[in-house]
Chain A
């Protein structure tokens, strides 16, 4: 075993030198590594610790319970009901297909739904629950609970969902909630993290939307430790959120329910307002809809039925519908005349049945004319010519000014959707909006609340309340937020001469209490509850000369869309006003025949705080009223027995 070796002294020297160089380089590099280590672990440790913490700790939101809504007596209007949903966790289920088919035999699940669940299960991390069925009734939850041993991985989870126990009664006022949509998120500038929770319910319309911030509350949070795929390992700590604030409305549900029933069958709106503090007791639009449908997600056919209905059930006509106020506007013109000193209460105009202005003939509703009319007579019998003459003397500016003081033409601030501002026309407005000059005929038309004048039922009620009190009554819809009484806008005096107001009120009293009054047939007999009102019939079409020549056809002959709107406003009791009422019945015909009886019934109901006795009604009407009351009692949904009184 020969072993020649070439390790000469020279070779040894070279290698030792090079070994030292290489070794030195290696040690140098290790020094570099040590320095880098020190830099990262000592100098920058805090930064990396923070990053590790961010990695490890996840914030999970706890959705707050939404604030509930009650009527002025504490009756629940919008509440949170426990909602059950069935979830399935793949990891615990084992054989997913078997479990799903077992589930299908227990609860109502169609194949399409099942297919969705299957794909969702495949996509989701195995330890995360997938919703199999939502809004499951309690009966099905119990079935699942009983069969729990055969259903591994299936869990009924309880959450909260919005529910409106009064159904359609307050749909337009309270609105409804629905799951957050992309469109909602676009509109919000800095969306709350809560909104990104799947199926989180957000106010969409009405109070639910307008007072969203109060109702939503603050999210709580749990800090949980998660691993790299987001599985929760343990909870580190928990900060409870803040529940949404409860709201109490000024609405009296019992009254609202009655009004809603009374308007049934018409396309109509009514407002009942407390003139002493502006509390809105009823805001009714008919027909209505069930807001619960929207919470669950309305079906296409249901939604189409609502949108294609010519009575427009989705519209909150009481605040967003604007109508020519017709003769109910005459109080405005009368007060303007009195304040301007153009007329005194006993000054008269002569009504021949028509007035010719600038070559155009303006008719009074009474073709034969009213003869000599003073203020009281003109309102009582709703003489048009009186107001034509008065308006011509006053000019549009004074009329508009008075209308504004009485609350018309300005948007009233209410937490409801699409509150309309109406229109009190001025010369400048016409020039700007229409590009036309104001003509004298416009003034004449405005005198009887036609032409460009537009007002919502809410505004008409405010106008009536202001006439009844002389104060700038401002409506209030929210009585308490979180138990804290909201400010009542007592309303300063609107600065009208009390004597003038009294003249107008007296005239309104005779409308419904004088034999010649247009609403005499809808009077109230009870001495201390008598109402003062005004009828209005507003045209929605122009009567052509041809039609006039052929004889004006009665409303009943016309198609529904072309019939007149029927209006009535009143306040009561006359001696000590408490409430103001405005009723508009779309295409209902005449104010005295269609709107006044409804308004009278509502007024009595409100003053009695329940069903009024028959002797409040005129004797000859009592049989009919008895029948009507019976019918309405049957029609009205049973009042909720459960009453969470928090007021």
Chain B
């Protein structure tokens, strides 16, 4: 297909584009954000300040950004991919030099009206550049080694910069997200099998080396890994967070303790209760029903994205939509696993629910791209 095959006549234009938005997806996003407002209101002790109101304003701003991005044709975004990617790399480097230090890591740049976390932005720009790359690459070259190395380098550059901050969680998400895009683009199975196998082999070797003459890591590094993998080893440090989170989650029961009745969060036992651990408050106050509902909403968002991508015959649009869906999935899957004690504690927020400006805006912008792809799909 060429551009000429696009049926420009049937392509919505002007204000009519609003009618062609993926409205169910917007409703789903609003519902998820609504959960966030409720929980932020609750953890502030029944008050709109300091979190819920600010979060609402950001969500509205996010919606505006999403609409704006959605109105712009997807091919324009494809052409801007390289610029966006390079821009986010520059910002990452800027963090390196001018970034403020928060929670022991350099993560954001103060723009005056908001704090920008370039690592959040990178999650999306990386997906964009990879989608654009595979859109441009002839299909028969997809699995050729040289053409596989290029996207790998594209992934590793921002990953390295993020790791230096240091932000292990985001770095892992970038790698997995990038890998997922490569997988979707049709890179040969063998590469993934090889990477996974060698990864497992390295990890096994490191652990097997413990206590032998050829030990690959220092003892204290092993101890750090131990704590990372099993926080219960350190009940007052990292373990305290995860223990309290599990208690809050588990004590919710079927229907929860009721709105604003969660003792764990109200009495401050929960750490980071308005950001990374907000899911525990939800689970404590609304129980399994509430937590499962949120998970259901997330699942629907993923499914709507997948169906939108599959219906789209534009390669860039499809890969981008699926990549964003996967990134979104990784956010909440890692966050939920973390608070449920299934994964080590890495700082990953619950998308659209956790308090935080950068993540919210970047996600809404990403869904703007999804909307743009949806509106401007070839018909």
B244 in contact (CB, < 8 A)? yes
How far is A233 from B269 in the complex, measured between Cα atoms in Å? 13
Kindly report which residue of chain A lies nearest to residue B288, judged by CB atoms: A41
The secondary-structure label for the interface of chain A is helix
Complex contact A5–B135 (CB within 8 A): yes
Select which of A4, A8, A227 is within 8 A of B267 by beta carbon: A227
Kindly report which residue of chain B lies nearest to residue A3, judged by CB atoms: B3
CB contact under 8 A between A36 and B340, given known A3-B75, A56-B263:
yes
Q: A19 — which chain B residues lie within 8 A by C-beta?
A: 184, 306, 309-310, 318, 322
A49 in contact (CB, < 8 A)? yes
* Chain A positions 46 through 61: 1 when the CB is less than 8 Å from some CB of chain B, otherwise 0: 0111011001100000
Q: Could you tell me how many residues of chain B have their Cβ less than 8 Å away from some Cβ of chain A?
A: 58
Complex contact A41–B249 (CB within 8 A): yes
* Chain A positions 1 through 21: 1 when the CB is less than 8 Å from some CB of chain B, otherwise 0: 111111110111011101110
CB contact under 8 A between A40 and B313, given known A19-B322, A22-B184, A48-B250:
no
Complex contact B340–A42 (CB within 8 A): no
CB contact under 8 A between A40 and B183, given known A7-B313, A15-B319, A30-B298:
no
Choose, from B51-59, B102-110, B151-159, B251-259, the stretch at the interface. Answer: B251-259
Choose, from B26-34, B92-100, B114-122, B136-144, the stretch at the interface. Answer: B136-144
| Smallest CB separation, A512 vs chain B (Å) | 77
The secondary-structure label for the interface of chain B is helix
Complex contact B264–A55 (CB within 8 A): yes
A226 in contact (CB, < 8 A)? yes
Choose, from B15-23, B198-206, B329-337, the stretch at the interface. Answer: B329-337
Q: B313 — which chain A residues lie within 8 A by C-beta?
A: 7, 12
CB contact under 8 A between A55 and B244, given known A36-B340, A228-B269:
yes
* Chain B positions 277 through 303: 1 when the CB is less than 8 Å from some CB of chain A, otherwise 0: 000000110011001100100110011
Q: B211 — which chain A residues lie within 8 A by C-beta?
A: none
B248 in contact (CB, < 8 A)? yes
| Smallest CB separation, A204 vs chain B (Å) | 37
Query: Which one of B244, B250, B253, B340 has the highest number of Cβ atoms from chain A below 10 Å of its Cβ?
Result: B250
How far is A38 from B180 in the complex, measured between Cα atoms in Å? 29
Q: B342 — which chain A residues lie within 8 A by C-beta?
A: 33, 36
How far is A29 from B302 in the complex, measured between Cα atoms in Å? 12
B2 in contact (CB, < 8 A)? yes
Complex contact A6–B253 (CB within 8 A): no
A494 in contact (CB, < 8 A)? no
Select which of A7, A27, A227 is within 8 A of B315 by beta carbon: A7
CB contact under 8 A between A40 and B246, given known A11-B315, A19-B184:
yes
B111 in contact (CB, < 8 A)? no
Kindly report which residue of chain B lies nearest to residue A44, judged by CB atoms: B250
Query: Which one of A1, A22, A45, A52 has the highest number of Cβ atoms from chain B below 10 Å of its Cβ?
Result: A52
Q: B248 — which chain A residues lie within 8 A by C-beta?
A: 52
Q: B194 — which chain A residues lie within 8 A by C-beta?
A: none
Complex contact B3–A34 (CB within 8 A): no
How far is A47 from B251 in the complex, measured between Cα atoms in Å? 8
A-B contact sample (4 more), CB < 8 A, given A49-B253, A227-B267: A12-B315, A15-B186, A19-B184, A34-B295
Interface residues of B (CB under 8 A from A): 1-3, 6, 75, 135-139, 180, 183-186, 244, 246-254, 263-264, 267-269, 283-284, 287-288, 291-292, 295, 298-299, 302-303, 306, 309-310, 313-316, 318-319, 322, 326, 329, 333, 336-337, 340, 342
Closest 4 CB pairs of A and B: A48-B250, A3-B3, A52-B251, A227-B267
10 contacts between A and B (CB under 8 A): A1-B3, A3-B2, A18-B183, A19-B309, A23-B303, A27-B299, A30-B299, A37-B288, A228-B267, A229-B268
